[in-house]
Structure 1
């Protein structure tokens, strides 16, 4: 005899209580009795547009929500208590109840429609007490539409990543008529298509990153990622996870799905390790192993991941001296320096000043939509005789300032900041001497075709000493006279172990 509706309703509650009785409370301070818990869950699932069905340990229907009733065209009262095979065509919930093995993402024919379903067993004290069935997609078309939508989103993210991790400049963006920089550029163009590691040396602001981008753009990896990593900007305690990535739960506050490291993101492309001289010793060892093996291990994992990258690195420090002093690993240095390119500083190529001024003034005025500005010969001559400790970057920032504050379309000597006039005659002589040393070194045909860093450092130290004497040890005034930020001055004083007190 068919059970009355009220009896079936009680059956639902009894079955639900049996399944849910271990849940003593809900979060956020909401407490329920067993009956209230059942009523609450029924209301939640009944309002869900997805299809749910619950069966007991004998694979009889306990309850199915309104969405499933509509999908099957069956009333709840008709289905309750019946074997699930009599209610849902081609179901395998009875098999899941018997085996305790979940079936996920399976195709099931329901009333002539091919749906994607999950079937999950329910356990209590190690025993199967029932199962849950859920229709993920009511038709394969619905599933295909979602896949298509997700693919579009993935393609969109890929395009965005390609924009982020792509090279910005090419060799034609290197503006120069200086023989020594042309020599470096020519050598870089020769090695760009060859899959060797490159080390770029040069002062801050001299264009190391521009050269690195250009090499990647001319390489066989140009269509693949170009990932920049500033070794000086990453805190030491997270550097390993930034470069190598980490597994889910590898450490406190780790993302639940883990994270790809920069090296893995750069797979089949190029990674640019800027300020490589600032990499801590423990990371030098890990980077060396990666370069030797072509594999990395994420933080929290022992499974190696194969990664194929070309490495371009750069530093403004005397890396060879660091190797001699044991600060930088010799074996890593030799791995990274298959080709060494040294970019000459601005003070050694004054012939580029006019070209760079024209380029930057055109770029700045176009960007700001203001009339084009030019620089007159007198002002240009002053710029050519300036020491340029900040190199091309300093020149660019100066021109941006001048474009803002100069009246008219011609930048004159009177418009230039006072620190450009602050160099003593002896400082200018030292500047010219540095240029002569560098050019004679290149033209001599000797073994060293680049600037002798020891000579440059010696002359730079002499200049710092003279400026500090002239300012009575006042570092603020010294920085203004040199046209550099005080932090840059402090860095150079530490570099040369110089200490000055204000008189």
Structure 2
């Protein structure tokens, strides 16, 4: 068998097995080859196509332009949307295909014809859907991995018995499918609790979709929550839009700040909870959904019900289980636990070894923390930036915190200001010596002219910690 014959068999096999359409013309525009897929699309038999000028079969052909430009497959413009006249296709309707067109040259770079590979509309949509499904599966997997590393009741830290009881309650609720209402002040971890419940539930492999009911304009809320059909309103996108409920199907929908939900939307939400189905804006058919609802609010819904701004029937649907978060001032023993955690994160990120002075610790413990853990995180970040990259002192804390400690009747931050300054100065000398001696404890002690045991005592007193990887004997 000659090489030319072998290549012809391979080419014919490729054209027969492919889902795409293929057509080949010679340098005069005469069709020399076409595969069955393309013949079927055109609704004509192969014998009635071969040997005819391409413009007689496909009046919208651009193959002559391709040959005039001597276009190759990697040239700009080789791929374009090719339109078809309805009378020239099997479906007898105007349609299009994605065309990849290129010229064929011999070994002397002489033009001998051109070829086109056609991806038909239906097949293109199938491929697009397959790609979207694969992308969805990938991002879903990545999202779940990220969730498992950033949320969970093991991340809801605290040593106070009230925090321990809350974690146990959350774990217990997670094993059910009841609706949950999480109440509490801003910054007490309501969203973290919601995500933790989802992760510990049997819906963990499905999405959790978070919606802040106070952040979406009222006029957009309905379409965001329930989606809309194509043409539902003037600016509606082609093909419509999937709403949050459908995105969360089989998973969890977290409705933060549920107290800000307008009354008309409260009625629609109640219907979803009762009927387990939604209706898109502009739609006529109900769409079944299987979604667990977790809601959260900083507002007093009981008072809102009395005022008529929150529906009682919706409240009792949402509050099958209620979890009340705990303000930071009610578990003050955890203040430094959180503060040290936030500072450690900053030290790791910026490769520093900043510590708290004793007076700064006292101020943090005496402050009331109306913004709770979120405010504490913000304060530690601000103090870290203000510090000299050694110790966070009183001057690095916001005045509202140091002033509040003074007004509380505990002015020890003033009485001990000289002591704090001495400690800060001593800590700075020790840290400088440690760096100069490459963190070798024996050499550092000799450099400072003190016993090594005394150096350890001073470092413990001043909260100077050396990372294990740089510590040398």
Q: TM-score range by the shorter chain?
A: 0.5 to 0.7
Q: 1:252-290 deviations in whole A, cap 9, x for unaligned? A: 111101110011000000010000000000000000001
For 1:210, the equivalent position in structure 2 comes to 192
Give the match for residue 478 of structure 1: none
Q: Give structure 2 stretches of 5+ with no counterpart.
A: 1-19, 36-43, 51-82, 100-115, 411-473
2:381 aligned to 396, 400, 407, which one? 400
Task: Give the match for residue 348 of structure 1.
Answer: 330
SS at match of 2:370: coil
Structure 1 pair 201–235 and aligned structure 2 pair: CA distance change class (3 A):
same
- 1:305 is the counterpart of 2:270: no
Provide the rounded CA distance (Å) in 2 between the counterparts of 1:413 and 1:131: 78
Aligned to 1:154: 133
Tell me what 1:225 maps to.
Answer: 207
CA spacing shift, 1:131–1:210, aligned 2, 3 Å: closer
Of 87, 95, 118 in structure 1, the residue corresponding to residue 48 of structure 2 is 87
Distance 1:216 1:67 in 2: 63
8 Å Cα contact 1:50/1:135 also seen in 2:
no
Structure 1: gaps (5+ residues): 1-48, 53-64, 74-82, 90-117, 124-129, 430-503
The reply to whether residue 179 of structure 1 matches residue 158 of structure 2 is no
1:410 aligns with 2:391: yes
What TM-score does the superposition give when structure 2 sets the normalisation length?
0.62
| Deviation by residue 1:336-391 (Cα, 9 ceiling, x = unmatched) | 00110111111111111111011111122323x23132223321121111111111
> 1:419 matched to which residue of 2?
400
After superposition, residues 111-190 of structure 1 pair within 5 angstroms as: 121-122=86-87, 151-161=130-140, 163=142, 167=147, 168-190=150-172
Residue of structure 1 equivalent to 2:31: 69
Name the counterpart of 2:468: none
Indicate the residue corresponding to 1:295 in structure 2. 277
Once the two structures are superposed, residues 435-487 of structure 1 have per-residue CA deviations (whole angstroms, 9 ceiling, x without a partner) of xxxxxxxxxxxxxxxxxxxxxxxxxxxxxxxxxxxxxxxxxxxxxxxxxxxxx
Counterpart CA distance in 2 for 1:237 and 1:66 is 61
1:202–1:316 CA contact under 8 A, matched in 2: yes
Q: Partners in 2 of 1:248 and 1:282 — Cα distance?
A: 23
Deviation, 1:239, is 0.3
Q: Distance between the aligned counterparts of 1:133 and 1:260, measured in 2?
A: 27
CA gap of 1:358–1:285, structure 2 versus 1, over 3 A, is same
What is the CA–CA distance in structure 1 between the aligned matches of 2:369 and 2:117, rounded to whole Å?
69
Cα RMSD over matched residues? 3.9
Q: Retained in 1: the 8 A contact 2:97–2:118?
A: no
Q: Take 1:262 and 1:87, find their aligned partners in 2: how far apart are those partners?
A: 53
Distance in 2, matches of 1:342 and 1:133, equals 59
Q: Is the 8 A contact 1:231 1:276 kept in 2?
A: yes
The Cα of 1:67 is off from its aligned counterpart by: 8.2
Which residue pairs with 1:32 in the alignment? none
Measured after TM superposition, the shift of residue 152 of structure 1 is 4.1
Partner in structure 1 of residue 299 of structure 2? 317
Distance between the aligned counterparts of 1:348 and 1:196, measured in 2?
28
C-alpha displacement of 1:404: 1.3
Cα pair distance change 1:72/1:173, threshold 3 Å: closer
Q: Following TM superposition, by how much is the alpha carbon of 1:423 offset from its aligned partner in structure 2, in angstroms?
A: 2.5
Secondary structure at 1:237's aligned position in 2? helix
Q: Which moved more, 1:293-302 or 1:345-354?
A: 345-354
